[in-house]
C-alpha cells in the first residue's frame, strides 16, 4: 500500500475536533513498532535538549543576575527576569515562521535545525563576558541570545508533538506523545542535578565566579546528539500522504487564520493550557529562585532549592506516562479536568507548606503539586495536536500555544517576583495556580473528546 492509498477521502468522515464534513481524517496503516519507537525516542531526546537549553536559564538566574546584570539584588534579578520574558515575546515569531515552514516543507529537517539554533544560543550565553568586563554589552547580548532561544522554542513544541503524534497509533497516541513532555521535565531535572553537583563539588563562590557557565556550554554536545538522531528519521507518514497527493497547503498560515473552524481551535489552544504557565514555569523553572529569593537564603541555599525542585521533577516524570495511558483509556477531557481540579484544590495548602521554610515540608508540597499537575502536562499537548488537520497542524498549534505561554507563562517569574515584593505575600504563586486552573476548566467545557480518533488531513 502506498502512502497516498492510506489517506481516506470518503466524504462521510468528519473532523475529530469539529463537525465540518470537509475535514478528512488520515487513515494511516499502523507504522512498524520499531519505527514508532524510534520516532518517539527522537522526539523525547530532542525535547530533552531543547528544554535543557531553555530551562537552565531559569535554574541559574541568580548567577546570571550577578555576572551579567552586575548584582543579585532586586534590580539585577528584575533585569534577568526581563531576559526570561523577552524569550517568550520572541516565541510567536518562531511559531509563525517555523509553523509555516513545517506545514509547507515537512517536520523532520526543521526540527533538527531548531536544535542547532537553540544549542548554539545556549552555549553562547555561557561565553558572554561579565558586565564588569564589557559593561552594558553583557545584558544586551544576553537578551539577543534569549530572543534566539525563544524563536527556537516557539517552533519546537508543536513541531515535536506533531511529529510523534503523526507516527503514533490512534489508540496509544497520548502515551507515545507523553514522552516528549517527560523529556522536558527530565531535562530540567538533569539541569538541577548538574547545578547541584557543581555547587557541592566546587562551592558557591566558584559557581558565582565561573562554574555557572558549564551547564550552558554543555549544550554543544547535547545539541549534536539531538541533531544526529533527528536527522536520521524519515518524514511522518501523515505529511508524506499529503505530499504524494499534492494536497500540502500552499499557505498554511492563511488557511489557519481565515478558517472559522481553525480560529475557534486556535482560541481554545490559547486558554486550554492556561494552567501550564504556573504548572511548568513556577513549579519547576522558577522554583529555585522563588525559594531562595522569596523565602531567604537562610532557609534555602541554592543547593537545597535545586534539591527540592529535583524531587518534584522525579515525581512528575514518573506520573506523566501513567496519566497519558489513563487518557488513552478514558479520554482527554476527564484527565484534564481532574488535574485542573486537583491543582485548584491543593495549590494553597501546598504553598503554605513550602513557605514554612522547612526543607522536608517544601519537598512534600512540591511533590504533591507535581502529581496534581501531571495529568495536565501529560494530556494537554495531545489534545491540542488532535484539534487540527495535518495541513495546518504545525502552524495553528504553534501560534495558539505561543500566545498562551506569553500570557500565562513567560511573564510568570517577573510578575511573581514583583507581586511578592509589593504585597509581601509569598503565597502569590498559589493564587496564580488557582486562577489559571479555573481558566483551564472553563476551556475544557468547549473541548471535543478526541480519544482514539484518527488524525485529520485537511
Tell me, what's the pLDDT at 20? 40
DSSP-H helix ranges across 60-107: 61-67, 74-105
Query: Long-range contacts made by residues 39-42, C-beta under 8 angstroms, separation at least 24?
Result: 39/163, 39/164, 39/167, 39/168, 39/233, 39/236, 40/164, 40/167, 40/168, 40/176, 40/179, 41/179, 41/229, 42/163, 42/229, 42/230, 42/232, 42/233
Collapsed DSSP state (helix, strand, coil) of residue 136: coil
* 384, 397 contact by CB (below 8 A): yes
DSSP single-letter state for residue 294? I
Q: Is the pLDDT of residue 346 over 70?
A: yes
Encode pLDDT of 29-38 as tens digits: 445 677 888 8
Evaluate whether 56 touches 122 at the Cβ level (below 8 Å).
yes
Express as a percent the part of the chain with pLDDT over 90: 45
Tell me, what's the pLDDT at 31? Answer: 56
d(CA 35, CA 340): 34
How confident is the model at residue 150, as a pLDDT? 87
Quick one: average pLDDT of 248-257? Answer: 92
75 — pLDDT class (breaks 50, 70, 90): low
Considering only 20-24, 59-63, 396-400, 414-418, which range has the smallest mean pLDDT? 20-24
Q: Is the pLDDT of residue 84 over 80?
A: no
> pLDDT for 416-431, tens place per residue?
777 777 887 878 888 8
What's the pLDDT score for residue 102?
A: 93
Question: Of 9, 317, 63, 293, which is closest to residue 181 (Cα–Cα)?
Answer: 317
Q: Are residues 109 and 242 in contact, defined by beta-carbon separation less than 8 angstroms? A: no
What confidence category does residue 7 fall into, taking pLDDT thresholds of 50, 70 and 90? very low
**SS3 call for 233:** coil
Q: What is the pLDDT of residue 86?
A: 81
| Torsional class of 70: left (φ above 0), alpha (ψ -120 to 50), beta (otherwise) | left
The single-letter DSSP state of residue 279 is I
SS3 22: coil
Q: Tell which phi-psi region holds residue 292, choosing left (phi > 0), alpha (psi between -120 and 50) or beta.
A: alpha
At residue 4, does pLDDT exceed 50?
no
Res. 17 pLDDT band, cuts 50 70 90: very low
Residue 283 neighbours by CB distance under 10 Å: 26
Average pLDDT over residues 406-414: 72
Residue 361 has pLDDT above 90, yes or no: yes
Measured CA to CA, the distance from residue 59 to residue 388 in angstroms comes to: 34
Q: What integer pLDDT is reported at residue 11 of this predicted model?
A: 33
Q: Residue 407 has which C-alpha cell?
A: 500570557
Q: How far is it, in rounded angstroms, from Cα 87 to Cα 150?
A: 4
pLDDT at residue 8 in the model: 39
Four-CA torsion 266, 268, 274, 275, nearest 10 degrees: -130
**Contact predicate 449/331, CB 8 Å:** yes
Gap between the Cα atoms of 267 and 289, Å rounded: 32
pLDDT (0 to 100) of residue 192 = 79
Highest-confidence segment of 110-114, 162-166, 322-326, 452-456 = 322-326
| pLDDT tens per residue, range 205-232 | 898 889 999 999 999 998 888 888 888 8
Instruction: Give the mean model confidence (pLDDT) for residues 336-345.
Output: 97
* Among 426, 327, 315, 311, residue whose Cα is nearest residue 373: 315
Mean pLDDT score of the chain? 85
Q: Give the length of the chain.
A: 458
SS3 25: strand
Rounded Cα–Cα distance for residues 116 and 79 (Å): 27
Residue 72: is its pLDDT beyond 60?
A: no
Comparison of pLDDT for 233 and 350, the residue scoring more: 350
Q: Which residues of 121-155 are buried (b: 16+ CB within 10 A; e: fewer)?
A: bbbbbbebeebeeeeeebbebbbebbbbbbbbbbb
188 or 352, which is more confident: 352
Residue 80: band (very low, low, confident or very high) from pLDDT cuts 50, 70, 90: low
Q: Which of the 8 DSSP states describes residue 69? A: S
Q: How far, in Å, CA of 398 to CA of 408, rounded?
A: 15
DSSP string, 183-207: HHHHHHHHHHHHHHHHHHHH-HHHI
Condensed to tens digits (0 to 9), the pLDDT of residues 268-323 reads: 999 999 998 878 877 887 787 778 777 766 678 878 888 888 899 999 999 999 99
* Amino acid 73: pLDDT: 57
For 103-140, the pLDDT digits (tens) are 999 998 899 899 899 899 999 999 999 888 898 898 88
Amino acid at each position: 500500500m502506498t502512502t497516498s492509498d492510506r489517506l481516506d477521502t470518503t466524504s462521510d468522515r468528519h473532523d475529530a475536533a469539529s463537525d465540518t464534513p470537509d475535514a478528512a481524517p488520515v487513515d494511516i496503516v499502523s507504522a512498524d513498532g520499531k519505527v514508532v519507537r524510534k520516532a518517539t525516542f527522537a522526539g523525547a531526546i530532542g525535547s530533552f535538549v531543547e528544554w535543557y537549553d531553555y530551562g537552565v536559564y531559569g535554574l541559574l538566574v541568580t548567577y546570571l543576575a550577578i555576572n551579567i546584570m552586575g548584582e543579585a539584588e532586586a534590580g539585577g534579578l528584575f533585569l534577568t527576569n526581563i531576559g526570561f520574558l523577552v524569550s517568550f515575546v520572541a516565541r510567536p515569531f518562531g511559531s509563525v515562521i517555523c509553523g509555516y515552514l513545517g506545514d509547507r516543507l515537512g517536520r523532520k529537517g526543521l526540527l533538527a535545525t531548531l536544535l542547532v539554533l537553540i544549542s548554539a544560543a545556549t552555549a553562547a550565553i555561557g561565553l558572554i563576558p561579565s558586565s564588569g568586563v564589557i559593561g552594558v554589552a553583557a545584558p544586551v547580548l544576553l537578551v539577543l541570545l534569549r530572543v534566539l532561544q525563544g524563536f527556537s522554542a516557539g517552533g519546537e513544541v508543536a513541531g515535536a508533538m506533531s511529529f510523534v503524534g503523526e507516527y503514533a497509533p490512534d489508540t496509544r497516541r497520548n502515551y507515545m506523545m507523553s514522552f516528549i513532555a517527560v523529556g522536558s521535565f527530565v531535562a530540567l531535572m538533569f539541569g538541577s542535578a548538574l547545578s547541584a553537583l557543581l555547587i557541592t563539588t566546587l562551592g558557591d563562590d566558584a559557581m558565582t565566579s565561573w562554574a555557572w557557565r558549564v551547564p550552558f556550554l554543555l549544550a554543544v554536545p547535547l545539541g549534536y546528539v539531538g541533531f544526529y538522531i533527528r536527522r536520521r528519521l524519515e518524514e511522518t507518514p501523515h505529511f508524506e500522504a499529503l505530499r504524494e497527493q499534492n494536497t500540502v497547503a500552499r499557505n498554511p498560515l492563511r488557511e489557519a487564520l481565515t478558517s472559522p473552524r481553525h480560529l475557534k481551535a486556535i482560541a481554545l489552544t490559547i486558554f486550554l493550557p492556561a494552567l501550564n504557565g504556573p504548572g511548568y514555569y513556577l513549579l519547576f523553572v522558577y522554583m529555585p529562585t522563588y525559594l531562595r529569593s522569596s523565602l531567604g537564603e537562610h532557609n534555602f541555599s541554592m543547593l537545597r532549592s535545586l534539591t527540592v525542585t529535583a524531587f518534584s521533577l522525579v515525581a512528575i516524570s514518573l506520573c506523566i506516562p501513567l496519566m497519558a495511558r489513563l487518557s488513552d483509556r478514558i479520554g482527554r477531557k476527564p484527565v484534564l479536568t481532574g488535574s485542573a481540579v486537583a491543582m485548584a484544590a491543593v495549590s494553597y495548602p501546598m504553598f503554605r507548606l513550602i513557605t514554612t521554610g522547612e526543607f522536608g515540608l517544601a519537598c512534600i508540597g512540591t511533590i504533591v503539586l507535581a502529581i496534581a499537575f501531571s495529568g495536565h502536562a501529560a494530556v494537554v499537548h495531545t489534545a491540542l495536536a488532535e484539534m487540527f488537520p495535518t495541513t495546518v497542524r504545525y502552524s495553528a498549534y504553534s501560534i495558539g500555544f505561543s500566545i498562551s505561554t506569553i500570557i500565562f507563562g513567560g511573564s510568570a517569574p517577573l510578575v511573581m517576583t514583583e507581586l511578592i515584593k509589593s504585597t509581601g505575600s509569598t503565597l502569590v504563586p498559589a493564587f496564580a495556580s488557582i486562577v489559571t486552573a479555573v481558566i483551564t476548566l472553563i476551556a475544557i467545557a468547549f473541548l471535543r473528546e478526541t480519544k482514539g480518533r484518527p488524525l485529520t488531513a485537511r
